[in-house]
Structures are given as C-alpha cells and as structure tokens.
Amino acid sequence: MQQPPIILPGPTFEKIGKMVNLSDIASQFRARRITLYLPSYLSEGFKLTAIWVKVDEKGIIKFPLVVLYSKRNETHICAAEITIDICLSYGLGFRDHPNITSDRYVKIETEGQRVT
C-alpha cells in the first residue's frame, strides 16, 4: 500500500508578517487611495480578531492582508475559524464600471462601525 505524501510545513505568514490594527490600515490606505471592503455582518459571536500584513522597511503595509474572525478570540491564522486573504486588484470594483481604476473609495467597515 502506498503511503500518503508527507507535506513539510513551510514558513507561516505569521513569521514573515506583522499583526496591525484596523486604524493603521485605514489611514495608510486612505492616503494611497485604496478601497478595502470587509464584512460588516457575520454570524453571531464572530468578531474581527487580527489582521496580518507584510510591512516593508519604511513601514508601508503591503499585500496580501490576512484578516481573521473568530468566536474564540483567536489571533493565530491556523486557529481562527474564518480567514480572509486580501490581494490588491485593479479594475475589479463593486461598481457598474469594473474597468475604472481611478475611482477608489476608502470604505473599511467592521461590525457595523465605519473606521475611515
């Protein structure tokens, strides 16, 4: 009988990333004219517990972002019940004109509260 492949763990995002708060992201993204949409409603008990990002040597937040939601207040990526990976994408907005990249809005919402 053939054995299943052994998958060795690589470096986790937590080793190369940094946990930041939503207001840091909001202020940087507002200045860079980047729109970020987060869920404003989740099932009962889930809340935003952590946001992991890459930060360059100048303190600029880089993509991808890993957003964690948990009922158990988990801040580790592998332990949170819901993780959302966010990458920068141009021209794929929520508007009727998906190819317009100059119209960007800062709309960061979490649990019904606007943080912009």
Per-residue pLDDT of the chain (116 residues; tens, 9 = 90+): 666 655 545 557 777 889 999 999 999 988 988 888 888 778 889 999 999 999 999 999 999 899 999 999 999 888 899 999 988 776 655 555 444 444 443 345 444 444 44
CA torsion, ordered 84, 86, 89, 92, to nearest 10 deg? 30
pTM comes to 0.69
Domain ranges of the chain: 20-93+103-114
CA distance 7 to 23: 37
CA distance 45 to 106: 26
